[in-house]
Amino acid sequence: MASEAPASTSTPTGAATPGPVPSNKPKEVVNDPARTGFDPETKWWMNYFKILSGQVTPEGQFHFREWRYRVHEERDCKRCEDYRDWLFTYSPVVRFMSEKIEALNGRLDPSNVVCRRCPAHLEEDGQVHRQSGGFSPNHGILLCANEVRDRKHLEDTLAHEMVHAWDHLRWKVDWTGDKDLKHAACTERRV
């Protein structure tokens, strides 16, 4: 997600000065080892033992998981790319959706289906927000490498996002809801 730029206000001289930006987004929680029990400066296996023995809070477990995802980002992305390439070659549903998208003058292939690490977000109320993938009409499909459990999970995620791509090409979906919010709701309901 893009961060919001600070709003600017004009001074009598005409120079812009940054002002506060009202944000309706919940505040993200930052790890405090004294509070959570998870210390990123400690060896991973010691933190893991602390989790198993109940010395780490659920918040600390969240931060441990995200920390391990950062450590294994390269490995996870490589595995995701291998799965993705296999699916474009052998998966009936992915090949079917590719053909249908091409029939609408679109193109989805490994060049615009990318694997990246997608950080989760922990809010103050304890809610965790994760995603497995996403579709952007201007960029293609994002597959969240750190959330991929296995090749079948990636196939389901990729097929889901390819349906969004097909909807975009076939029905000219209004993703932002500027004209009709029912468009985005309908494509999620159908998938």
Question: Active-site residues: which are they?
Answer: 161
Tokens of 75: 């490995």
Name the phi and psi angles at 88, rounded to 5. -65, -25
How far apart, in whole angstroms, are the C-alpha atoms of residue 116 and residue 43? 25
- From residue 70, how far is each of 61, 97, 130 by CA, in Å? 14, 32, 15
How many of the other CB atoms lie within 10 Å of CB of 11? Answer: 9
Tell me the β-bridge partners of 129. Answer: 121
Edge-to-edge strands, sheet with 133-136: 113-116, 140-144, 133-136
Tokens of 8: 């600017």
Which has the closest alpha carbon to 72: 128, 147, 19, 18?
Answer: 147
Name the phi and psi angles at 92, rounded to 5. -60, -45
How far apart, in whole angstroms, are the C-alpha atoms of residue 119 and residue 95? 29
